Amino acid sequence: MKNDSGLRIRPIEPADNQPLAKIIRSSLAEFGADHPGTVYFDRSTDALYELFRIAYSAYFVAEYDGVIIGGGGIFPTEGLPSGTCELVKMYLIREARGKGFGKSMIEQCLQCAVELGFERIYLESMPELKQALKIYEKFGFEYLSAPLGNTGHFGCDVWMLRKL
């Protein structure tokens, strides 16, 4: 699997719910991050298409040669400061990591956030997801000492913010 013309990033469709939930949960389990207070246990993980019908949200699916390899989106999480959205549910299958697909997904989400008028983008993660944290750092996300907003993800103890 290479990052070439075989990559397609598209908006989520109803049929994507089950494969994406599987990717999210298997990715978290792979890194030992499948604990309470994370998206692993969110009911919304099984209904992403429905969740992302909310105004000022967007979720994108990454396909490689017609196979879903991951996804990620932006969401106007309750309680965030005005002009701030959250980068959410950004996961790729193991075989797709380290090939630039995640970079392409993040770029798509950042572009969408700007187009929707957001000024900042926030994210929550966990120390177990070291590879992802390094990528976020390269994109200019800066660490915060406390969470923003009301995500309900008490299992996440890494918070980052980036100006758009």
Between β-strands 120-125 and 84-92, what pairing exists: parallel, antiparallel or unpaired? parallel
pLDDT of 6 reads 83
Distances (CA, A) of 73 to 12, 28, 31, 32, 127: 10, 17, 21, 23, 21
pLDDT of 149 reads 81
* Domain residue ranges of the chain, discontinuous segments joined by +: 7-163
For the stretch 71-117, pLDDT in tens is 999 999 999 999 999 999 999 999 999 898 999 999 999 999 999 99
pLDDT of 126 reads 85
pLDDT of 32 reads 84
3-state SS of 30-41 is HCCCCCCCCHHH
pLDDT of 4 reads 57
> What is the distance between the alpha carbons of residues 121 and 61, in angstroms, rounded to a whole number?
19
Instruction: Count CB-CB contacts under 10 A for residue 129.
Output: 20
Whether the CB-CB separation of 161 and 148 falls below 8 Å is answered with yes
- Domain 7-163 adopts which CATH fold? Aminopeptidase (3.40.630)
Query: Nearest to residue 21, comparing CAs of 52, 1, 43?
Result: 43
pLDDT of 2 reads 52
pLDDT of 5 reads 61
Q: What is the DSSP letter of 145?
A: S
Q: Per residue in 23-60, is it b (16+ CB within 10 Å) or e — as a string?
A: bbbebbeeeebbeeebbbebeebeebbebbeeeebbbb
Block means of pLDDT (10 residues each) for the chain, 164 residues, are: 73 97 93 82 92 97 94 95 95 92 95 98 90 94 91 82 98
